[in-house]
Amino acid sequence: MRVVIAEDDALLREGLALLLRSEGFDVVAAVDNADDFLTLLDDTDAAVLDVRMPPTFTNEGLKAAETARQRRPGFPVLVLSAYVEDRYAAQLLAEGAGGLGYLLKERVGKVTEFTDALRRVAEGGTVMDPEVISQLLSRRRADDPIRTLTPREHEVLGLMAEGLDNDTIAARLVVTETAVSKHIGKIFMKLGLSTSDSGHRRVLAVLAYLRT
Interface residues with another protein (CB under 8 A) are 9, 11-12, 15-16, 18-19, 22-23, 52, 57, 82, 105-106, 108-112, 114
Cβ at position 113, least distance to another protein in Å:
9
Closest CA to 27 of 41, 44, 42: 44
Residue 113 or 167 having the CB closest to another protein? 113
Residue 55 or 151 having the CB closest to another protein? 55
For residue 28, the Cα-to-chain-centroid distance in whole angstroms is 22
Residue 82 or 189 having the CB closest to another protein? 82
The span from the CA of 82 to the CA of 162, in Å, is 18
Residue 108 or 157 having the CB closest to another protein? 108
Residue 82 or 171 having the CB closest to another protein? 82
Cβ at position 78, least distance to another protein in Å:
15
Cβ at position 48, least distance to another protein in Å:
12
Q: Where are the beta strands (DSSP E) in the chain?
A: 2-6, 26-31, 46-50, 77-81, 100-104, 126-128
20-31: burial string, b at 16+ Cβ within 10 Å, e else: beeeebebbbbb
CB neighbour list of residue 84: distance below 8 Å, 6 or more residues apart: 102, 104, 129, 131, 132, 135
Cβ at position 18, least distance to another protein in Å:
6
Cβ at position 88, least distance to another protein in Å:
15
Could you tell me the sign of the dihedral formed by the alpha carbons of 113, 115, 119, 121, in that order? positive
